[in-house]
Amino acid sequence: MLTIALSKGRILDQSLPLLEKAGINIPKSELESRKLILDTNFDVIKVIVIRASDVPVFVQHGAADLGIAGKDVLIEHGADGVFELLDLGISKCRLMVASKTDKNLNKSTLKVATKYVKSTKEYFYKQGKQIEVIKLSGAMELAPIVGLSDCIVDLVDSGNTLKANNLVPLELIHEISSRLIVNSAAFNTKHSEINDWITKIKKSL
């Protein structure tokens, strides 16, 4: 049995064509159902659909053998007990510092609103900048507008969300894409099976 963890939304949408090319199909009726464990065209392969940030957690604990998660999520999780196997090149974006156009970011302690606490701390500490992190779970763009923070650290794709909120991208922290990850123990016990799928997925990239 192999369990693959995916997250609803862009990762699921962009992973399905890759998995299909590799030979793993999830019937439409499964995708349209409210089930959290989906059947595939293989009796021995199941797909679980969970929150993006929970994918490395399920894989770390072996509740899923394989998973697809954004590099942003993997950095925050720390990826203990998880091997990164492949850069799938999907769900690409950039983790960036952004703020209002007229904002001076040269103050002694910068207030940064983000859900990416680890990446944010690493980035500013490397620059020797002192920061106060304000942890949010979403709508980061609001923080500088209402005076909650001086700037934000968030994912940027088209830049439209920033623009709509009168914010500008300033500094690049990481280029982000989704990665195929595996539980480290499962990688040993199910090695040949998992390797076969890696080869097929690689070919479908």
Task: Please count the residues of this chain forming the interface with ligand PRT, following the rule CB under 6 A.
Answer: 21
27 binds ligand PRT (CB under 6 A): no
Exactly one of 19, 143, 155, 182 binds ligand PRT (CB under 6 A); which one?
155
* Interior angle at CA 100, CA 177 and CA 122, nearest 5: 45
Pairing of strands 93-100, 66-70: unpaired
- Whose Cβ is closer to ligand PRT: residue 161's or residue 204's? 161
Q: Region of 153 please: left (phi>0), alpha (psi -120 to 50) or beta.
A: beta
For the chain, give me the number of helices (H) and strands (E)? 9, 11
Q: What share of the chain is helix, strand, coil (3-state, %, to 5)?
A: 35, 35, 30
Q: Is 51 in the site for ligand PRT (CB under 6 A)?
A: yes
Least distance from ligand PRT to the Cβ atom of residue 1, Å:
26
Residue 12 vs 45, nearer CB to ligand PRT = 12
Give kind and range of the element (H or E) at residue 18.
helix 10-22
* Residue 9 in the binding site for ligand PRT (CB under 6 A): yes
**23 binds ligand PRT, rule: CB under 6 A:** no
What are the residues binding ligand PRT (CB under 6 A)? Answer: 7, 9-11, 51-52, 70, 72-73, 91, 93, 154-161, 176, 178
